[in-house]
Chains A and B, each alone.
Chain A
Amino acid sequence: MVMLVVAFVSFSLFTFVGDPVHNMVGEETSDQEREEIREALGLNDPIPVQFTRFVRKASKGNFGTSYQLRRPVSELISERLPATLELVFVSALIALITGTLLGVYTGINRGSVLSDIILAISLLGVSLPTFVIGILFIYLFAVILGVLPSFGRGEVVDFGFWTTGLLTISGLKAIILPSVTLSLFQMTYIIRLVRAEMMEILQTDYIKFARARGISEKSIQYKHALKNGLIPVITIAGINIGTLVAFSIITETVFQWPGMGFLFIQAVKFVDIPIMSAYLVFIAFIFVMINFVVDILYYFIDPRIRVKSGDVNG
């Protein structure tokens, strides 16, 4: 349902916005030649015909040809997709792990100096725009220290349908700065969430009871409290993966990461409608998938939901 709406929106983009022919040809093209190109692209057909053609093709992964680069959009996207997904995946991982660890630490050691420092930094992290963080990192690690590369993906290993930078040293080095930059905002979010959860849970009766039973403090904190504290984190992290994908546009521009966001920005600049609409459909697809996966994860993690939904369904 959502996908259909998005498909329609992106189709309208396609049809009503701008004159693709105008973008494709030079100034000196004659009207007749323009008309021929229009005919060849199928832009003269009635709109319902164009829409059904669009959906049929889109479901097969065909989004037409980029006006500017004159190459099939699906090809461009599948070329860039691995880069973006790797970046998002790595930064989600960083955000989740570091965020949880720091959150647990600040939640348990309330009022300690280190916790206060962590929290102050995280507040600053929220106010810093992503691209400023990126520039700061580039200056610090690439210009002054010169230890990490500031652009590109490094060497990539090609599997035919997937290229990965995670298997070479230069690729791994190249992903550090962009992924940390991208994950910072997310991380501050998770720190605050985990901290609040931990503080709340440590007050509950079952933790007091566990203490009374003489279970070690470490075991209480990590085995009993954290387990319940992680449930909302998963939802938020899941939802925010979509945000990560969107913010990867900025990170990719700063670090010249050859991913989809970079492609999209170029498309916005040159009004390359096929790429824009394909990106839109793709983002919507990711959002729907993430929601689906989070729902399923819930089912496995939280037994209470399993019972509840079992009751409702019979």
Chain B
Amino acid sequence: MDSQNLSLIDRIRDSDVYFSFIKSPTAIISTVILMIIFFCSFFVELVAPFNPFDPSSLDLMEAFTPPSWEEEGMSKFLLGTDGQGRDMLSTILYGSRISLIVGFSAILFSLILGVALGLTAGYFGGKYEMIIMRITDVQLTVPSILMALLVDGIARGLISRELHDEMAIYVLIFAIGISEWPQFARVSRAATLVEKNKDYISASTIIGVSNIKIMFKHILPNILRPILVIGTIGLALAIIAESTLSFLGVGVPPTTPSLGTLIRIGNDFLFSGEWWITFFPAIFLVILAFSINLLGDWMRDTLNPKLN
């Protein structure tokens, strides 16, 4: 009864998760890095020194300025400028917002889809379960990047070209989301199978709680841990997938560049020596993905020792 009376903060302090978080320097460092990145990306208007999409602030004379510590660098452009005179730091922050929005939405989409299908499959069983699991089997043999490419290609065929640029970001979210859901379906099904044979579920069934209520109110909170773990690792995958697709030129339109788009644009300048245009977005992407992966690793060890 004691834990009921404690405030939320005390409960967090008391938990094993908090304990292992405090004990793990990697987890703390990666969380801090991620917090900074998230903050800067979502409040980019306040943080970024320039607005790279405001044509009036651009000066073509300032194009290809190297980073500020190089000889020809200017102090107002910390990381230099790109081919249109856009400040790299601001462009990267705006780009990372797009990347994060797409990544989060995609993973949320596949999480909802996967968990809903996996949970119901595990709970009801029978033919329905078999069909769902068969689909995940088939889809898991296809590499997800290929799946996303295909979905993207099909969507391009279905949507007219004029509409496509506006729709591109939703198409991208859908394409990445649809390519990641089998993971969630599998894990939540496996966890549901364990959960549903426990006494409290039988008890709920006996007192006549409806199936839907049992699934989403009783089973779901108990299987959240493994889902959260693959959700975190999936976020890194989704961000990488987004930038890969954008890098390949089938992602977001160049008018709203994401990190991948920036890397692709910068790639063209690599040979003429303007290395910073592609290097900084790339390193930013790597730091982002690496921190999420580290955090995911820590979560895997802490939240679910059994999942490997």
Contacts and interface: CB of A to CB of B under 8 A. Distances in A.
Interface stretch (B117-125, B182-190, B209-217, B282-290): B282-290
A interface majority secondary structure: helix
Contact of B290 (A127, A239, A264): A127
Interface in A230-275: 239, 242-243, 246-247, 249-250, 253-254, 264-265, 267-269, 271, 273
B143 A135 contact: no
A130 B248 contact: no
B12 to A, nearest CB: 29
A128 B286 contact: yes
Contacts of B263: 131-132, 135
A276 B150 contact: yes
Contacts of A271: 153, 156-157
Given A124-B290, A132-B286, A280 B270 contact: no
A42 interface: no
Contacts of A142: 271
- SS of B interface (majority): helix
A131 B236 CA distance: 15
Contact of A250 (B142, B145, B289, B290): B145
Interface stretch (B16-24, B34-42, B55-63, B239-247): B239-247
A284 to B, nearest CB: 9
Contacts, number: 96
Contacts of A18: 156-158
B154 interface: yes
B146 to A, nearest CB: 4
A215 interface: no
Interface in A275-289: 276, 280, 283, 287
A283 B138 CA distance: 13
B201 to A, nearest CB: 36
Interface of B: 138, 141-143, 145-146, 149-150, 152-154, 156-158, 236, 240, 243-244, 247-250, 263, 267, 270-271, 273, 275, 278-279, 282, 285-286, 289-290, 293
14 contacts: A2-B138, A5-B138, A18-B158, A128-B286, A129-B286, A129-B289, A131-B248, A131-B263, A132-B285, A135-B270, A143-B271, A253-B248, A268-B149, A271-B156
